[in-house]
Amino acid sequence: MRRLPDFDAWAIFATVAREGSFAKAAEALGLSQATVSKAITRLEKRTETMLFHRTSRRITLTESGYMVLENANDLLNMGEVVEANISEQSEAMRGLIRVSSPMSFGLNYLAPLLPNFLEQHPDIELDIKFDDRQVDLVAEGFDFSLRIADLADSSLLAQRVCPIRMLLVGAPHYFAKHGTPQHPSDLAQHKALLYTYDNRGAHWRFHHAAHGEHNQALPSSSLRVNNGDALLPVLKKGLGLAVLPEFLVWQEIQAGEVVEVLADWKLAPIALYVITPPGRLRPTRVTAFIDYLTKHLRVSPWSDSLS
């Protein structure tokens, strides 16, 4: 006789993976810890596969657990979607939305959009992680992330929101003291302030309309940080130059605190994307929040200011 899948147990499994412990999953689901533990044991017996490594201090997914996590999340998410679709719209616009966002961009441009959305939808709970690290959406249980990158060849489900130019900038008194570079090769004589999560490798890649491509090895560095905002005080003090996204420095450029150099040598642009897990249906509340953010973030104040 064919057995139905143990949907409850798979939903509990997905929640345990997201919360990182049986106790936290039990609290999130309103169940006893014993019920959660029995559900996982039931799945492991049924599949004859260990899904979690257990120690006295923590639990972690096994390789098999990682392999089935995305499918389990799909089951949990699909159940939520089915229930939402048979409820009225007001009932669908409730519940938790988990989002990952880069810190500097998120604090300056995402955070100001949150009050209006929460006022419109008082039954929605937002859990937003501000972190420049590239998160694993499935393993860490995020509904979507905002990511600033070049995803032209990515297999991720990515919705492009707006382009972002990269600018080579420094304080006017830095260039008065060390000279203004006229060609990317001049950068070998300068000090750089670097962003740790820059995925451009050991070179800055420039393009000139008349002179073509130039790959320049990174200058010697006096500072590396994992958050772009941390570069600004040192940059404005005149202790180096940096390649930074326009959204981070457009106000400083307007104020004359930093200036762009080598403007004819363009750095490869990047863009702001909404990234969603592959193969997942989205609850109405998540789609509504994505639509709300993309509508407002497509209008970038920095682009007009620097045009």
pLDDT tens by residue, 220-250:
888 888 888 889 999 999 999 999 999 999 9
Q: Provide φ and ψ at 135, rounded to 5°.
A: -85, 160
Number of domains into which the chain is organized:
3
Is the model's pLDDT at 181 over the cut of 70? yes
Instruction: Please name the helix (run of DSSP H) or strand (run of DSSP E) that holds residue 117, with its range, or none.
Output: helix 114-120
In CATH, what number is assigned to the domain containing residue 301? 3.40.190.10
Q: pTM score, two decimals?
A: 0.69
pLDDT in tens, 30-58: 999 999 999 999 999 988 899 999 887 78
Q: Which amino acid does the sequence have at 94?
A: R
Structural contact between residues 121 and 115, judged by C-beta atoms closer than 8 angstroms? no
Cα separation, 25 vs 36, in Å, equals 7
Is the model's pLDDT at 293 over the cut of 90? yes
Counting Cβ atoms within 10 Å, is residue 255 exposed (0-12), middle (13-18) or buried (19+)?
exposed
Task: Give the single-character DSSP code of 111.
Answer: G
In terms of residue numbers, what domain contains 144?
94-161+271-306
pLDDT in tens, 113-139: 999 999 999 999 999 999 888 888 888
Instruction: Please name the helix (run of DSSP H) or strand (run of DSSP E) that holds residue 74, with its range, or none.
Output: helix 63-85
If asked whether residues 113 and 245 sit together in one domain, one would say no
Cα separation, 187 vs 71, in Å, equals 49
If asked whether residues 175 and 255 sit together in one domain, one would say yes
Q: Is residue 225 part of a domain?
A: yes
